């Protein structure tokens, strides 16, 4: 579904990604783990078209999307849930969600978008309760649900999530990760970036380990769990103390 | 039968994407963790970030047997020793042994690789698999053992016990599959004939053979002698052990487990990649190994790529021919690898002989024999003293046996009888074993 080949990207003269290759197949949950500054967010922003790649190929649904604008990429079915939610604080929950379906509204498919809204409400009932509340008044967890819901309003085939557990109460994190599994069961493919490597690997099929803009390891979640470097660096466990 | 359908039947473009991803991450790891690779890449001013396709591999330096010898024992490991859960090594007859380490993940991948070979031979959990490879530092025994267990077969670690014992096990334990070297299988077939045991009295269905080069003629003899179908496999300790490549039931070449290894075929003299289909030296790059990753390892084995098209069996992995030769004169003798150069080195130290010799390998009464014919020196004054010659002969034999760990017959030849003055290269090795 998504194929990235030798992608280089960065900000101005700062090269962050130094030739990244990765792929995501339909129906997979793929995670990218790595320390702060490794280039995880840069990678997602590059795929989403927010940053233009310096070189390399990004192919989504057999189409080179490297030079497309962010909105065109969303229209092709690749949506991003940005880091730190970034919901519109001064709009209501419903307004935030409808903005996510902007493309559908513009194409006069209002009804479809409103149907979608109902399915988001059934996925996150709490959003229905807070429908007319301003997004800025929601808790962190609710805002995250809203951000996911907003991205889903575009009916993406591939949902990219940037650190959905950041700054959220552990109990809510569990709910969100469960939702990710539900989404996959509903046919959405997931590319997930997480600082919480353990939680991410628990739900992911495969993963990539990013270090200073390069992939240093690729494998199934089981392979990554069993890799001692991953254990030492990202699972916060001492050598040979992983019991899972 | 397929073991891992998703991987084994993956379309070639997807395999290539996977290979690139894994190759790049392997390069990043070896550059960070293996001093040898950091040094050689820096020295040759190679920027690994510039590697963008499989073809770019050709710009990287080779890793040779000599490099591995220089890194004895642990210097090629890419992880600390505490992450290693298994250690194997080559026999070390051709120089220092090469010590290889496996992490937990390496072992799991290796196990799956051999399971794939066994599955393609039709092995299921209903089979009784007799493994007649040596169980020690050598990778053959343990490698296949793990794979057979993963499939759920009943595994008999028969190891290299005597022919009589193997046949007894085969009969009484009702073995349905035999895993060993082709020459050992040939000996077993010979023994059956000698003892008038008809193979119909056995339960064998299939033989999975490997660890030494063999011929189609040999295959025919074994298949007839044991009443089995046979599967050729390829592997070497440096790369992972058995499990690098293997035939399927269609016998259309050996499928390389391309999700773990990238193969290249290079010209034996220029070392440039040859066009697909041409013969050359096999060069392997490991792309999933954590403990002992190798970049462009020159195997010394000569073969060719038969096809990159999907096989009738459904596998999409590239297929190579059986091994048709060596770049050196390496001799495979009872699982021991011998290079004539080593023998020469040993002979040079012995007074009274000229370092001209010939190695003759033959088969007598179903047992391989190795004979080394050595010229005595022209300057040897005691040339007529039989007693002296006898003790000279014995001391050479003893020395060779000690070093090689196998029984060697030594015979002395007159000066100039092996290497005639002024004549070119003599054939150092004469292998009469090839089935006549």
- Length of chain A (residues): 244
CATH number for the domain formed by residue range(s) B336-431: 3.30.300.30
Confidence check: pLDDT of B274 > 90 = yes
Residue A241 is assigned to a structural domain of this protein: no
Phi, psi (rounded to 5 degrees) for B218: -65, -40
3-state SS, residue A4:
strand
CB contacts of B50 in chain A (<8 Å) are 19
Q: What is the 3-state secondary structure (H, E, C) of chain B?
A: CCCCHHHHCCCHHHHHHHHHHHHHHHHHHHHHHCHHHHHHHHHCCCCHHHCCCHHHHHHCCCECHHHHHHCCCCCCCCCCHHHCCEEEECCCCCCCCCEEEECHHHHHHHHHHHHHHHHHCCCCCCCEEEECCCCCCCHHHHHHHHHHHHHCCEEECCCCCCHHHHHHHHHHCCCCEEEECHHHHHHHHHHHHHCCCCHHHCCCCEEEECCCCCCHHHHHHHHHHHCCEEEEEEEECCCCEEEEEEECCCCCCEEECCCCEEEEEECCCCCCECCCCCEEEEEEEECCCCCCCCCCEEEEEEEEEEECCCCCCCCCCCEECCCCEECCCCEEECCEEECHHHHHHHHHCCCCEEEEEEEEEEEECCEEEEEEEEEECCCCCCCCCHHHHHHHHHHHHHHHHHHHCCCCEEEEECCCCCCCCCCCCCCCEEECCCCC
The CATH topology of domain B5-327 is Rossmann fold (3.40.50)
pLDDT band at A10 (very low <50, low <70, confident <90, very high): very high
- Cα B376 from Cα B354, distance rounded (Å): 5
- List where CATH 3.30.300.30 sits in chain B: 336-431
pLDDT at A89: 92
Q: Is residue A206 a contact partner of residue A190, using CB atoms and an 8 Å limit?
A: no
Q: Give, as one character, the DSSP assignment of residue A137.
A: G
- Cα B286 from Cα B238, distance rounded (Å): 10
Residue A61 is assigned to a structural domain of this protein: yes
CB contacts of A16 in chain B (<8 Å) are none
Q: Is B52 an 8 Å CB contact of chain A?
A: yes
Q: Which residue has the tokens 């557990």?
A: A165
Please name the member of B14, B25, B104 whose beta carbon is closest to the beta carbon of A218.
B25
- Cα B287 from Cα B282, distance rounded (Å): 16
Q: Which residue has the tokens 């939610």?
A: A85
Please name the member of A21, A208, A223 whose beta carbon is closest to the beta carbon of B105.
A223
Residue A242 is assigned to a structural domain of this protein: no
- List where CATH 3.40.50.12780 sits in chain B: 5-327
Identify which of B380, B378, B372, B385 has the alpha carbon closest to the alpha carbon of residue B412: B372
pLDDT at B432: 77
Q: How many CB atoms lie within 10 A of CB A194?
A: 25
Confidence check: pLDDT of A234 > 60 = yes
Residue A50 is assigned to a structural domain of this protein: yes
Please name the member of A18, A23, A228 whose beta carbon is closest to the beta carbon of B49.
A18
pLDDT at B435: 47
Confidence check: pLDDT of B355 > 80 = no
CB contacts of A223 in chain B (<8 Å) are 105, 108
pLDDT at A244: 45
Identify which of A217, A240, A224 has the alpha carbon closest to the alpha carbon of residue A21: A217
Q: Is B108 an 8 Å CB contact of chain A?
A: yes
pLDDT at B328: 81
- Cα B349 from Cα B206, distance rounded (Å): 47
Confidence check: pLDDT of A5 > 80 = yes
pLDDT band at B76 (very low <50, low <70, confident <90, very high): very high
3-state SS, residue A21:
strand
Confidence check: pLDDT of B340 > 50 = yes
3-state SS, residue A128:
helix
Choose the weakest-confidence range: A19-23, A122-126, B92-96, B419-423.
B419-423
- Cα A120 from Cα A148, distance rounded (Å): 9
Residue A239 is assigned to a structural domain of this protein: no
- Cα B52 from Cα B58, distance rounded (Å): 12
Q: Which residue has the tokens 């309003």?
A: A153
Residue A26 is assigned to a structural domain of this protein: yes
- Cα B329 from Cα B340, distance rounded (Å): 7
Q: Record the pTM.
A: 0.87
pLDDT band at B174 (very low <50, low <70, confident <90, very high): very high
pLDDT in tens, B279-306: 999 999 999 999 999 999 999 999 999 9
CB contacts of B22 in chain A (<8 Å) are 218
pLDDT band at B419 (very low <50, low <70, confident <90, very high): low
Q: How many CA atoms lie within 13 A of B71 on its CB side?
A: 22
Residue A229 is assigned to a structural domain of this protein: yes
Report percent pLDDT > 90 for chain B.
Answer: 65
Q: Give, as one character, the DSSP assignment of residue A68.
A: S
Encoded tokens for B35: 């001093």
pLDDT in tens, B367-410: 788 888 888 877 776 666 788 888 888 888 888 888 887 888 89
Q: Is A10 an 8 Å CB contact of chain B?
A: no
Which residue in chain A has the smallest CA separation from B105? A223
Residue A163 is assigned to a structural domain of this protein: yes
Confidence check: pLDDT of B363 > 60 = yes
CB contacts of A218 in chain B (<8 Å) are 21-22, 25
B20/A216 Cβ within 8 A: no
- Cα A113 from Cα A103, distance rounded (Å): 9
Confidence check: pLDDT of B418 > 80 = no
- Cα A27 from Cα A186, distance rounded (Å): 9
How big is chain A by its Cα radius of gyration, in Å? 18
Instruction: Find the domain containing A91 and state its range.
Output: 2-233
- When pLDDT is averaged across residues A54-69 and rounded to a whole number, the result is 95
Phi, psi (rounded to 5 degrees) for A16: -100, -50
The enclosing domain of A29 has a CATH number of: 3.40.50.300
Report percent pLDDT > 70 for chain A.
Answer: 95
Cα distances from B53 to residues A21, B58, B59, in angstroms, run: 10, 10, 11
Choose the weakest-confidence range: A69-83, B207-221, B242-256, B296-310.
B207-221
DSSP-assigned beta bridge partners for residue B420:
none
Confidence check: pLDDT of B354 > 90 = no
- Cα A60 from Cα B23, distance rounded (Å): 22
Q: For chain A, what is the domain count?
A: 1
Q: H or E segment at A82?
A: none
Taken in order B6, B12, B16, B19, is the CA torsion positive or negative?
A: positive
Encoded tokens for A191: 């590319």
Q: Chain A closest CA to B17's CA: distance in Å?
A: 8
């Amino acid at each position: 579904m998504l194929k990235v080949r030798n992608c280089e990207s960065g900000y101005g003269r700062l090269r962050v990604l130094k030739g990244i290759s990765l792929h995501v197949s339909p129906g997979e949950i793929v995670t990218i783990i790595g320390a702060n500054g490794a280039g995880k967010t840069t990678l997602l922003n590059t795929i989403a078209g927010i940053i233009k790649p310096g070189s390399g190929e990004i192919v989504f649904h057999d189409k080179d999307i490297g030079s497309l604008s962010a909105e065109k990429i969303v229209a092709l079915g690749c949506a991003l849930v940005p880091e730190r939610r970034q919901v519109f604080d001064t709009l209501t929950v419903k307004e935030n969600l409808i903005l996510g379906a902007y493309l559908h509204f513009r194409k006069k498919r209002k009804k479809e978008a409103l149907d979608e809204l109902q399915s988001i409400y059934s996925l996150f009932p709490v959003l229905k309760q807070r429908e007319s509340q301003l997004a800025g008044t929601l808790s962190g967890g609710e805002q995250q649900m809203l951000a996911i819901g907003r991205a889903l309003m575009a009916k993406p085939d591939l949902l990219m999530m940037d650190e959905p557990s950041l700054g959220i109460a552990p109990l809510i994190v569990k709910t969100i990760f469960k939702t990710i599994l539900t989404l996959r069961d509903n046919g959405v493919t997931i590319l997930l970036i997480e600082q919480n490597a353990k939680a991410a690997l628990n739900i992911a099929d495969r993963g990539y380990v990013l270090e200073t803009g390069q992939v240093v390891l690729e494998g199934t979640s089981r392979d990554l769990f069993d890799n001692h470097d991953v254990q030492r660096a990202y699972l916060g466990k001492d050598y040979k103390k992983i019991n899972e | 039968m397929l073991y891992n359908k998703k991987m084994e039947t993956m379309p070639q473009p997807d395999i290539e994407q996977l290979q690139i991803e894994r190759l790049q991450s392997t390069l990043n790891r070896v550059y960070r963790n293996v001093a040898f690779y950091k040094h050689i890449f820096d020295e040759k001013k190679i920027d690994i970030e510039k590697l963008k396709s499989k073809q770019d591999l050709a710009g990287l330096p080779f890793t040779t047997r000599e490099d591995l010898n220089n890194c004895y024992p642990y210097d090629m490991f890419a992880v600390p020793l505490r992450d290693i859960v298994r250690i194997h090594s080559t026999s070390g007859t051709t120089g220092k042994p090469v010590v290889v380490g496996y992490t937990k993940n390496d072992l799991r991948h290796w196990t799956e690789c051999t399971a794939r070979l066994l599955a393609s031979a039709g092995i299921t959990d209903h089979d009784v698999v007799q493994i007649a490879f040596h169980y020690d530092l050598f990778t053959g025994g343990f490698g296949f053992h793990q794979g057979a267990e993963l499939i759920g077969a009943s595994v008999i670690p028969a190891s290299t016990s005597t022919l009589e014992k193997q046949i007894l096990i085969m009969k009484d334990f009702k073995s349905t599959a035999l895993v060993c070297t082709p020459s050992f299988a040939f000996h077993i077939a010979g023994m059956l004939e000698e003892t008038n045991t008809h193979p119909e009295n056995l339960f064998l269905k299939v033989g999975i053979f490997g660890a030494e080069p063999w011929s189609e003629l040999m295959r025919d003899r074994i298949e007839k002698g044991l009443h089995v179908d046979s599967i050729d496999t390829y592997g070497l300790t440096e790369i992972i052990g058995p499990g690098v490549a293997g035939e399927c039931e269609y016998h259309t070449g050996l499928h390389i487990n391309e999700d773990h290894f990238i193969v290249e075929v290079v010209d034996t003299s220029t070392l440039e990649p040859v066009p697909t289909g041409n013969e050359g030296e096999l060069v392997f790059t490991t792309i999933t190994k954590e403990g002992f990753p190798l970049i462009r390892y020159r195997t010394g084995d000569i073969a060719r790529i038969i096809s990159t098209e999907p096989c009738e069996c459904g596998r999409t992995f590239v297929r190579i021919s059986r091994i048709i030769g060596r770049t050196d004169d390496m001799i495979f003798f009872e699982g021991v690898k011998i290079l004539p150069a080593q023998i020469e080195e040993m002979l040079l130290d012995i007074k009274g002989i000229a370092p001209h010799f010939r190695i003759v390998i033959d088969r007598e009464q179903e047992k391989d024999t190795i004979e080394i014919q050595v010229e005595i020196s022209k300057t040897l004054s005691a040339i007529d003293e039989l007693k002296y010659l006898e003790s000279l002969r014995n001391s050479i034999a003893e020395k060779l046996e000690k070093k090689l760990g196998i029984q060697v017959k030594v015979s002395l030849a007159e000066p100039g009888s092996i290497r005639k003055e002024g004549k070119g290269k003599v054939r150092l090795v004469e292998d009469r074993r090839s089935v006549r």
